Amino acid sequence: MCEEDRMERSHTQKPLELILARNLLTSISTPAFLLDASAAVVFYNEAAAALLGRSFEEAGRMTADEWTAAFGPFDEGGEPMAVDSLAPTEAIRDGRPAHGRFRIRAARGAVAIEASAIPIVASAQGSSGAMILFWPLGPNGAGPEES
Amino acid sequence: MRVKVWGARGSVPSPGPQMNRYGGNTSCVQVTLASGEILILDAGTGIRTLGLDLTGRERIHILLTHLHLDHIQGLMFFPPCFRAESEIVIWGPASPEASLEDRIARYISAPLSPVEVRELPCSVAFRDTPASEWELGGARIRAEAVTHRGPTLGYRIEDVDTTLCYLPDHEPALGAPLAGLEPEWISGFDLAHGADLLIHDCQYADEEYHQHVGWGHSAMTDTLTFARRVAAERLMLFHHDPLHADAFLDEFHASARRAWESLGGDATSLEMGMEGAELEIGAGDPVHA
C-alpha cells in the first residue's frame, strides 16, 4: 500500500446527510457553518469565510472550544457566552431548530449576528449535526447589515 | 468471486434490436461467493431470467439498493417467488415512512399486480439493512446511504480476499468537486475504496449531464474520477441510459477507456456492463458467457 493510499484510508467517512448539507452550503451565498454531532465545526462556506476573514481551508476542523475561542460568541456586554446556551448547541442537543442573537469576532471586529440552527437528524442514528445560517445585523441590531 | 450481469440498463427496460448486445433489462447482478452461496444485487427486470437458472436453490438473498421501479420491477416475475420451497430474504434501505415490506407491496399489489405479497407461495422475509457490517454466505456485507434521490444504498461485499462494490445509482459529484475533495466528504468513498471490482453508475455522457444534474446519476468523467479516487482495481460502467443503443455504447466505451488512461488507469481494467457478461474477480481474467 503506497503512502497516498494510506492517507486516503486515514479518515472517517461523514454521514451522507452531512455530505449533502456541505454540498448545499457550498452552493449558497448566505454565511453558514456545518457542525457535526459533537458540535465541532466541520465546514463553513465562502460567505462565512468572507465575514470571518479566514477560509475554512485555512482554519480546518474546530472543536466547540476552538471556535468559541476564535470567534466568540459574546453577549451584548462583550462577555463570552457559554457554548451550552447557544442556538447551535440547542439544535444538536434537543434535535429542534433554534435561533439566537449574539456577537462574534469577525475580520473587521465584533459583529452582531442573528443565527438560525437547523438540526440534521438521520432516521436511525440520531443527530448527525446542524447547519447554522447567520446574518450580520445593522448598527442598531434591528435588521440585516445591508438595510 | 464470480459476477454475472443480468441487467445493466437504467431507468426503464429498453428492448429492441439496437439494444441487443448490451441488453435492455434493468439492474440485476448475480454474485457467486467462494462458499457457493449466491447473492442477487437488485431486482430489475434482469432477475426474471436469472430466476430461471436457479432451480434447486431454496434460500436466496436479494440486496436492493433502493426501490425505484428499475430496481424492483422483476421481483413479481422472479420464478422462485412462485415455488413453495423457496426461502427469499429481501434486504433494502430503511425508511421512517413505512416498512420495507409495505413499500414493496405498493408495487406487488392491485392494481399494479395480479398478486399480493401475502399470496406468494414462497417464504419471503423483508429486512432493513443493518447499520453495521453483517455476514451472508461467508461474505461480509456493508450497506451505506449514498447520493441519489430517495433512500438509496451502496453495497460492499468482501469475500475471502476479494471485494466487490456495487453503486448502480450514484451521483457523488452533485455539488462536490470529486478530484480535490477530502475522501471523508465523498459519498460512497469507504464502500468503494480499494475494491477489486467497482460497478458504478455511468448513465450520461458528459455533454448530456448538464440537463440531468440532480437526477441521481453520474456523467462519465465523474464516474472515472470517483473510481480513480477510490483506487478501484477494475471498473464496470453500469446503468446505461435507455436512449443509448449498442453503437452509442461502443463509442462510449472507447471514449471512457481513453479518458481512463488519461487519468492513469489501465484501459483493460475498464469495461461496460453488458447483459450476460461473467467475470471472475480476484482471480483471473474476465470470462464472457
B181 touches chain A (CB under 8 A): no
Q: Which residue of B has its CA nearest to A7?
A: B183
**Higher-confidence position of B234 and B97:** B234
Mean pLDDT of A120-140: 83
Mean pLDDT of B190-217: 97
pLDDT score of B96 = 79
pLDDT score of B166:
98
pLDDT of residue B87: 95
Partner residue opposite A12 with nearest CB, options B96, B147, B184: B184
User: What is the nearest CA distance from A17 to chain B, expressed in angstroms?
Assistant: 9
Q: Among partner residues A9, A22, A125, which is closest to B185 by beta-carbon distance? A: A22
Give me the percent of chain B exceeding a pLDDT of 70: 98
C-alpha span between B52 and B34 (Å, rounded) = 22
Crossing angle between the packed helical segments B220-229 and B246-262, to the nearest 10 degrees: 40
pTM of the model as a whole: 0.89
Which burial class, exposed, middle or buried, applies to B4 when counting CB atoms under 10 A from its CB (0-12, 13-18, 19+)? buried
State which residue of chain B sits closest to A42, comparing Cα positions: B185
Cβ–Cβ below 8 Å for B229 and A8: yes
* Residues B22 and B272: beta-carbon distance below 8 Å: yes
Judged against a pLDDT cut of 60, whether residue A6 lies above it is answered with no
Q: What is the dihedral of CA B251, B253, B258, B260, to 10 degrees?
A: 160
Verify whether the Cβ–Cβ distance A123 to B144 is below 8 Å. no
- B-chain residues near A19 (CB < 8 A): 147, 176, 185-187
Which one of B185, B187, B190, B233 would you mutate to disrupt binding with A, by most A Cβ within 10 Å of its Cβ?
Answer: B185
Chain A neighbors of B182, CB-CB under 8 A: 11
Residue B173 sits at the chain A interface (C-beta within 8 Å) = no
Q: Does B147 touch chain A (CB under 8 A)?
A: yes
Output the pLDDT for position A7. 45
pLDDT per position as a tens digit, B19-52: 999 999 999 999 999 999 999 999 999 999 999 9
Interface check for B145 against chain A (CB to CB < 8 A): the answer is yes
Cell (9 digits) for B257: 477507456
Tens-digit pLDDT profile for residues A75-116: 878 888 888 888 888 888 888 999 988 889 888 888 899 999
CA distance B100 to B143: 15
- Out of A13, A15, A123, whose CB is closest to B189? A13
Determine whether the interchain pair A5/B231 forms a contact, defined as Cβ–Cβ distance below 8 Å.
yes
A57 interfaces chain B, CB cutoff of 8 Å: no
C-alpha cell at A37: 454531532
Per-residue pLDDT at B101 exceeds 70: yes
Which residue of B184, B186, B228 is the best one to mutate when testing the A interface, meaning the one whose CB has the most A CBs within 10 A?
A: B184
Residue with cell 414493496: B104
Residue numbers of B between 192 and 221 with CB closer than 8 Å to A: 193-194
Residue A16 has its nearest CB partner, among B145, B175, B182, at B145
CA atoms within 13 A on the CB side of B22: 30
β-bridge pairing B270-272 and B277-280 = unpaired
Q: How far apart are CA B156 and CA B143, in angstroms?
A: 7
Q: With an 8 Å Cβ cutoff, are A11 and B145 in contact?
A: no
Nearest Cα of chain A lies from the Cα of B114 at a distance, in angstroms, of: 33
Q: Is the pLDDT of residue A1 over 50?
A: no
Q: What angle do CA A122, B10, B116 make, to 5 degrees?
A: 70
**Option in B144, B147, B189 nearest A20 (CB):** B147
Q: Which residues of A touch B145 (CB under 8 A)?
A: 15-17
